[in-house]
Amino acid sequence: MVSYKELGLVNTKEMFKKAVDGGYAIPAYNFNNLEQIQAILQACVETKSPVILQVSSGARKYANSTLLRNLAKGAVEYVKELGYEIPIVLHLDHGDTFELCKDCIDNGFSSVMIDGSHHSYEDNIKLTKKVVEYAHAHDVTVEGELGVLAGVEDDVVAEHSSYTKPEEVIDFVKRTGVDSLAISIGTSHGANKFKPEQCTKNAEGILVPPPLRFDILDEIEVKIPGFPIVLHGSSSVPQEMVKIINSNGGAIKNAVGIPEEQLRKAAKSAVCKINIDSDGRLAMTAAIRKVMAENPAEFDPRKYLGPARDALKILYMHKNDNVLGSSGKA
């Protein structure tokens, strides 16, 4: 067994307390490869932001769990080289079984999410509690989920969403012992978060999604005051990136995200962790497509992955500075 402390990582306990008290959210960025983790760490060091490095089950299959763990271990040394040490959490995103969560805990993860939202309420509690008991025995923090987010991202697929029921949160938190709670208030996975018929159009003809249900968030905060809340599916889907992709051979249609001003409002509440993945994929894809279109003879991966990494870094610095409010909080 490898303890996360041996890797120089931290769990989310103190990180979330500071975020709730300070009115900001910790960035939770997914990574699958070297360029992504470089961009995340460079952005967070330069903005002096704490960070949660997220690994999905799909990422573990793609990149190998041992390699990912060692990338996270190297992240601690890398930020020292960059000149400013920031707290780093290694987190399992959307774990769906006890066995997967246990394996991550045994291999150096400092935080895990057990997503039992696809089960019945009682089975969700049973599964989540089992993970919490094992995780807490190793000082690892656990994120649970109530409510279902629609959309597709990696292995997470849901056709329909269901809002979190505020009347359930006290019972769920008490019976499971979770350290944080992912809720559903209108965010969604992927770049195509909403169907066109769910949206309106602004003066420029751009699709505008329905607003987040801040009334539900407010009610949850009343039920469990100060408890760490998490938002998944919180990419904004920048239209300039979609335009670059499509103008260079892409075919992304009806891509709509969560307005950044709504995420900033959420980050000032008890929402202390905001997950962003699709925006990073769009930034990298836009940069790669642009290089390939302008230099069709290019075949050196460094010549297109380097610009992709740089574009991702710029995006995440913007998120830390202007959306999450986490800059300067490390």
Cite the DSSP H helix spans in the chain. 13-22, 34-46, 57-63, 65-82, 98-106, 121-136, 166-176, 214-223, 239-247, 260-267, 278-294, 301-318
Which strand (E) or helix (H) includes residue 27? strand 26-30
Q: Which of 21, 93, 103, 310 is catalytic?
A: 93
Tokens 């000032």 label which residue? 268
Q: Verify whether residue 171 is a known catalytic residue.
A: no
Strands 88-95 and 111-114: parallel
Residues 6 or more apart from 236 whose CB is under 8 A from it?
257, 258, 259, 260, 263, 279, 323
CA distance 24 to 196: 31
165 φ, ψ to 5°?
-95, 110
CA distance 301 to 5: 34
261 φ, ψ to 5°?
-65, -30
CA distance 276 to 235: 5
Residues with a known catalytic role: 93
